[in-house]
Amino acid sequence: MNSSVSALPLSTLNPANEALTQRLPSSLQLKQQLPLSNALSQQVASHRQAIRAILNGEDPRLLLIVGPCSIHDPKSALEYAAKLARLAEEVSDQMLLVMRAYVEKPRTTVGWKGLAYDPHLDGSDDMAAGLTLSRELMLEMIRLGLPIATELLQPMAAGYFDDLLGWVAIGARTTESQIHREMASGLNMPVGFKNGTDGGVTVAVDAMRSAAHPHRHFGVDSQGHPAIVQTPGNPDTHLVLRGGHLGPNYDRESVARIQTDLARLKIPGRIMVDCSHANSGKDPLRQPAVFNHVLEQRLNGDRSLIGMMLESHLFDGCQPLGASLQYGVSITDGCLGFSATEQLLLDAAVRLRNA
């Protein structure tokens, strides 16, 4: 993975102290530099359709979005992806595993914003290199046969990856954003909207309703020019429960209440549970307990619970960004190690087969 599309030099800071700018390659240029073959394009389309079939109740399998909180090291990410691809084959009769390929990281204030922003991990913010590296990495994961997922944080970056993705998340902080709802309405793939950080689902429900409708909005075309974008509306959205300030929202009572709200608004009752974040109290080692609680609800007949999300890396925990980093350990949110993740999913597959 060493190809690149260079950005033009930074402009000179003028006396008025205006912001510096640097021109990036267009999404079309990067896609031409790192193309998706016809065979892989058909594979992505097949993955998207498989996910839609689960959302629509046509496929009884569980949808699982699994992988690092965010990717900072391509080598460890690809090692993880290879392990996940093998596991995906073993449980494919009961689960569809989708690899988290998160290259953008939302920040409450400041901090490392993800591989697409700062691939060198040194604050240089070489976004041209970050976009190139991110696309290369995603292509390598697809070649392993995995569907991939990401959170689309910056709408202008979406065009660099949108042809590669099987599933997209809109995060808790951006679900309320009109710009992200408009973007989601034009994505040709399933989209999960997370509930707000307060734990309430009203914002996410509004987002799903908005994204289902056509929009005309300001945007950029594939060549990087300002454009009026007309979207068809996205029927393949769903809710992602990640808990909130008051605690978890994956328990039976919370899920039943949310199902009632969705039914009242005539929104398809399809719910994914994020086993991390507030649902696990931000303790990655508590994710299996959350997972098994949700799995029990599913085994007891709750088909609105279409899937789950796990933050998982090669090894448990997280570490601060610094000069010396432990291989295979997250530098953002804490993750469950792969060994524990593998055992969790293998055990779940057995339970599902015996149900």
What's the CATH code of the domain at 44? 3.20.20.70
pLDDT of the residue at 4: 55
Asked, for residue 221, whether it belongs to a domain, the answer is yes
pLDDT of the residue at 62: 98
Identify the helix (H) or strand (E) that includes residue 293: helix 287-299
The token duo for 335 is: 């993750």
Tell me the HSE value of 40 on the side-chain side, using a 13 A CA sphere: 18
* 172-198 residue pLDDT tens: 999 999 999 999 999 999 999 999 999
Domain housing 258: 27-54+65-353
Task: Work out how many domains the chain is built from and give that number.
Answer: 1
Asked, for residue 15, whether it belongs to a domain, the answer is no
pLDDT of the residue at 18: 76
pLDDT of the residue at 5: 60
C-beta separation of 107 from 333 below 8 A? no
Asked, for residue 5, whether it belongs to a domain, the answer is no
C-beta separation of 338 from 80 below 8 A? yes
pLDDT of the residue at 10: 60
Dist. CA 50–CA 102, nearest whole Å = 21
pLDDT of the residue at 58: 97
pLDDT of the residue at 15: 58
Asked, for residue 6, whether it belongs to a domain, the answer is no
Asked, for residue 20, whether it belongs to a domain, the answer is no
Asked, for residue 273, whether it belongs to a domain, the answer is yes
3-state secondary structure 247-292: ECCCCHHHHHHHHHHHHHCCCCCCEEEECCHHHHCCCHHHHHHHHH
Asked, for residue 60, whether it belongs to a domain, the answer is no
Local confidence pLDDT in tens for the 355 residues of the chain: 555 566 656 654 555 667 788 899 999 999 999 999 999 999 999 999 999 999 999 999 999 999 999 999 999 999 999 999 999 999 999 999 999 999 999 887 889 999 999 999 999 999 999 999 999 999 999 999 999 999 999 999 999 999 999 999 999 999 999 999 999 999 999 999 999 999 999 999 999 999 999 999 999 999 999 999 999 999 999 999 999 998 999 999 999 999 999 999 899 999 999 999 999 999 999 999 999 999 999 999 999 999 999 999 999 999 999 989 999 999 999 999 999 999 999 999 999 999 9
Dist. CA 184–CA 204, nearest whole Å = 12
Asked, for residue 19, whether it belongs to a domain, the answer is no
The token duo for 306 is: 């279409």
* 73-99 residue pLDDT tens: 999 999 999 999 999 999 999 999 999
C-beta separation of 141 from 84 below 8 A? no
